[in-house]
A and B are shown apart, each in its own frame.
Chain A
Amino acid sequence: MLGQVVISGLLAGALYSMVALGLGLIFGVMRVLNVSHGPLLMLGAYTTFWLFQWLGLNPYVSLVVSMPLLFMVGMGLQRLFVRRVVDAPELSTLLLTFGISIALVNLAQLAFTADLRSVEFLTGSFVVGPFAFSKSRVIACAFAIVITMAAFVFLKTTRLGKAIRAVSQSREVAQVCGIDVGRIHMLAFGIGSALAAAGGTLVAVMVAIQPEMGQVYTFKSFLVIVLGGAGNYPGALLGGLLLGLIEQMSSLFLTTQINEAVAYVLLVLVLLVRPTGLLKGRAS
């Protein structure tokens, strides 16, 4: 039982890590908490659903469409709106991205209706000894790990990745070194959105797709980056895995209804006890 729970937790956690890394990247680089992160994930899920519906495209293959598509959407949103509030107080950034968030959800409702959709692909479970794991979750976890690692390799080794990290450490110094900060902001928002889209594509196979599916992931991603320490990218990985584990563990003892609140209680507790996160991040 415990083994099953731990592994399920890690499977879910890898996905959280990837989605939250996107949010963390945007927050780290721009100091903008993107409330529309979940709705961007929802758009990724719909991309996968329609490609599957119309063309019968393998949902995992649709990653190569959903990620670039949302990368462009993210860059567009940054260029049009978010760019203007980068230095504004948090009230402006939170409200603006909230405005974007409800506009996106409503657009999705208009375009796709509020019907629950599902991608029926890869049902059933892998059975290993006493454990059973749904195939879609295992594969989602595998993809999440690969994409997260790719993102880290990009951040660590490429010039662009280094520029992104430089901007998130100190915008002024980065600017003095000749980095085009505006361009980095746009790229970071694009990459963050693409990571959300990847999350959307991967959960599309597991859960019902509907316009309001994303909000939950916004809050969970907040929690993950708070857990790991805001602006600390490896921290997001740890935070995601921890959240997955805690959620699975608590589901053993608590009813589903109360389990819903675990993430929020945890969020508040961590903020109060250790606002810099478990690995040291920045307290603003």
Chain B
Amino acid sequence: MRRLFLPLLALALLILALYPIKGTGYGVRFMLQLFMWIALAQSWNLISGLTGYVSFGHIAFFGMGAYTAGILIAKLGWPWLLASLAGGLGAVVLALVIGFPCLRLKGPYFAIAMLGLNEVLRVAVSYFERLTGGGSGLSLPALYASVPIYYAMGLTAAAVTALAYVIVTSRFGLRLMTIREDEVAAEAMGIDTFRYKLYAFLLSAVAPGIVGGLAARDQSYIEPISVFPLIMTITMIVMVLFGGKGTIWGPVLGAVLLFTLQEMIWARFIYLHQLLFGAIIITVVLLMPRGILGVLQQKYNLPRTI
């Protein structure tokens, strides 16, 4: 199994890289959004899955990236790739500003503070109308670039997954997981917990910022309610939980399963969509809080770095 893993992974990546040549327009857009969800879920996993600090406003970084990139493209005419990278940078700056005070909060207080900050940001964006277009949104000049955006999203998703692998297998990752298991003990062992939490938080903001910018370019139109929705934070959390919190491939698995389910099945039941989602959340929390990989890990004694 272990010997097969790398060749299989390479094959999967090759197929994904060649897919746009044969794929339909719908297929490419489907995959592009799937990559976005993988990047988001994987990023949430970096801070919350590893350190146990539940970010309930993680979509704020996505929104920050979307608006940073959107404004750079629409007002200054930046190329979209550069603007999206700037979006990632914007998200890191935001994470730095809110991480300093908020990471000192514990338990549910951190979760609520993040939730509140996301709402503050949404209102602030609506308020600065001249820059952001306010509640009526920001339109970007039309551009048909699904395929390049596909590659950019895919690369981001792959990069965060690689980052997750590097972190989980490093001493840095071990320190983060020590914080999750027992922060006081971690502190007592000489780990500068605040600094490590902050690093994890900053790293977890980069990809949402970048994919926020890419999504803004892809949709050519952003508005406060479309880039700061609480439901998207919840969706990425459920993806991670479903796949396996604190694992490397869990967020990928969760994103693939949940997003496919969403596109294939729920889209047909518009009226029941939210109810089904609610039921899925409740089921995942009650019946499999360790997620698919978590359960497999325990049952078959798989390595920690799965």
Contact = CB atoms under 8 A, between A and B. Distances in A.
Interface of A: 33, 81, 84-85, 88-96, 98-107, 109-110, 219, 222, 226, 257-258, 260-261, 264-265, 267-268, 271-272, 275, 283-284
A205 B238 CA distance: 37
A275 B107 CA distance: 12
Interface of B: 48, 52, 54, 56, 101-102, 104-109, 111-113, 115-117, 119-120, 123-124, 126-127, 135, 231, 234, 237-238, 241, 271-275, 277-282, 284-286, 289
A100 B120 contact: no
A104 B274 CA distance: 9
Given A96-B282, A98-B234, A268-B116, A258 B123 contact: yes
Given A102-B274, A103-B275, A268-B113, A90 B107 contact: yes
Contacts of B116: 219, 264-265, 267-268, 271
30 contacts: A81-B286, A88-B289, A90-B111, A91-B111, A93-B108, A99-B277, A99-B282, A100-B282, A102-B277, A102-B281, A103-B275, A105-B274, A106-B275, A107-B275, A109-B271, A110-B275, A219-B115, A226-B112, A260-B123, A261-B123, A264-B120, A265-B116, A268-B120, A271-B109, A271-B113, A271-B116, A272-B104, A272-B105, A275-B109, A283-B106
Contacts of B113: 267-268, 271-272
A271 B112 contact: yes
B101 to A, nearest CB: 5
Contacts of B48: 91
Interface of A is mostly: helix
A92 B285 CA distance: 6
A92 B52 CA distance: 12
A182 to B, nearest CB: 17
A260 B224 CA distance: 14
A94 B278 contact: no
Contacts of A98: 234, 281
B286 A85 contact: yes
Contact of A284 (B56, B107, B274): B107
B128 to A, nearest CB: 11
A264 B278 contact: no
A219 B126 contact: no
A94 B55 CA distance: 11
Contacts of B280: 99
A257 B279 contact: no
Contact of B238 (A95, A265, A267): A95
A106 to B, nearest CB: 4
Q: Which of B101, B104, B281 has the most CB of A within 10 A?
A: B281
B286 A271 contact: no
A186 to B, nearest CB: 17
Contacts of B127: 257-258, 261
A95 B233 CA distance: 11
Given A94-B111, A258-B123, A261-B120, A110 B271 contact: yes
A99 B285 contact: yes
B135 to A, nearest CB: 8
Contact of A264 (B119, B286, B289): B119
Nearest to A90: B108
A89 B109 CA distance: 13
A110 to B, nearest CB: 6
A91 B237 CA distance: 9
Contacts of A283: 106, 109
The 9 tightest CB contacts between A and B, nearest first, are A103-B278, A99-B281, A261-B123, A106-B274, A106-B275, A99-B282, A264-B116, A102-B278, A90-B108
Q: Which of A84, A103, A222 has the most CB of B within 10 A?
A: A103
Contact of A261 (B107, B124, B289): B124
B265 to A, nearest CB: 16
Given A99-B279, A265-B116, 13 more contacts: A33-B112, A84-B286, A88-B289, A89-B52, A92-B289, A94-B108, A100-B278, A102-B278, A102-B281, A219-B115, A261-B120, A271-B112, A272-B101
